[in-house]
Amino acid sequence: MRKAAPRVAIFAAAFFALAPAFAHAQQAAAPVATSFTPAQKAEIQSIIKSYLTTEHPEVMAEGLQNLQKKEQDDSETKSKEAIAALRDKVFHDPATPVSGNPKGDVTVVEFFDYQCGYCKMSEPGLEALLKQDKNVRVVYKEFPILGAASVEASHASLASIKQGKYQEFHDALMGKKDHLTSDLIYSTAKSVGIDVDRLKKDMASADVQAQVDASLKLGQDIGVRGTPMFIINDTIFPGAMQGDQLKQAVDDARSGKKP
């Protein structure tokens, strides 16, 4: 019967086979047997489990961090490639609401949902940016993913364009801290001077539905996984941004500095 490989040799073979997953594993293992009996495989698994979970859990944590970073980098790369391929739809869709300076030297695109708390957290900073920086262009991408009220609010806000009230209505809805309801949407519309009966008719139009569908598809195509997501020139910023973060990102974009 073949003699069992020593425990150290077994461990070395198994550990160094996993070395690419861990940044600190630098040296190659000496050649050892690569075919193991079921008992030896069980022993290898036990040794590795003990090493990673009891003796040196930091190795497991480091490996997971490296994996997460790689997945994030891969996702951002794919999103940037998609944004480049769909540039006109992202930055220059004539049906999409725009605020600020239409000819601004920096464009901020926001994918948002009217029920998103993080979007509302970012709103004061975005409004302040528009007041302070007269050379910024903001593109609003409706991305209603948080339920029926989100969808209704997005239709209402896009329909308000026909009455020239998009910006006022958008800002007012973003300022509401309560959970959205139909009554709240329409009372908010009325408060900014919108004809609600006309608004409801316009909401049912095919062009409004097409615009919401197009925005949702665009977000999916470029990898928007949640709201808010900002694109500032060609750089992606997922998640909420405070006023100072927005300002810094715009300054960096203007100077050509990469984050």
Q: How far apart are CA 191 and CA 225, in angstroms?
A: 33
* Of the candidate ranges 3-7, 85-89, 154-158, 224-228, the one whose mean pLDDT is the lowest: 3-7
Same domain (yes/no): 63, 112: no
Same domain (yes/no): 71, 102: no
Q: How far apart are CA 143 and CA 154, in angstroms?
A: 8
Q: Output the six-digit token pair for 65.
A: 């961090």
pLDDT in tens, 93-121: 999 999 999 999 999 999 999 999 999 99
- Among 85, 120, 136, the domain-final residue is 85
* Band of pLDDT at residue 72, cut at 50, 70 and 90: low
pLDDT at 5: 42
pLDDT in tens, 7-37: 444 444 444 444 444 444 444 444 555 678 8
Same domain (yes/no): 67, 115: no
Same domain (yes/no): 115, 66: no
Region of residue 164 (left: phi > 0; alpha: psi -120 to 50; beta: else): left
pLDDT at 249: 96
Same domain (yes/no): 246, 188: yes
Give the total number of structural domains in the chain: 2
Question: Does pTM surpass 0.75?
Answer: no
Q: How far apart are CA 204 and CA 54, in angstroms?
A: 61
Q: How far apart are CA 55 and CA 187, in angstroms?
A: 62
Q: How far apart are CA 215 and CA 182, in angstroms?
A: 22
pLDDT at 42: 87
Inform me whether the pLDDT recorded for 4 exceeds 50. Answer: no
**Which residue did the predictor score with more confidence, 49 or 24?**
49
Q: How far apart are CA 141 and CA 158, in angstroms?
A: 10
Q: How far apart are CA 178 and CA 145, in angstroms?
A: 17
Same domain (yes/no): 42, 155: no
Q: How far apart are CA 8 and CA 223, in angstroms?
A: 46
What is the span of the domain harbouring residue 16? 1-85
pLDDT in tens, 179-237: 999 999 999 999 999 999 999 999 999 999 999 999 999 999 999 989 999 999 889 99
Inform me whether the pLDDT recorded for 74 exceeds 90. Answer: no
Same domain (yes/no): 193, 106: yes
Q: What is the CATH number of the domain that holds 193?
A: 3.40.30.10
Same domain (yes/no): 74, 172: no
- Among 50, 85, 120, the domain-final residue is 85
- Among 85, 109, 136, the domain-final residue is 85
What's the mean pLDDT when you consider all of the chain? Answer: 85
* Of the candidate ranges 10-14, 131-135, 153-157, 192-196, the one whose mean pLDDT is the lowest: 10-14
Q: Output the six-digit token pair for 72.
A: 């994030």
Inform me whether the pLDDT recorded for 3 exceeds 60. Answer: no
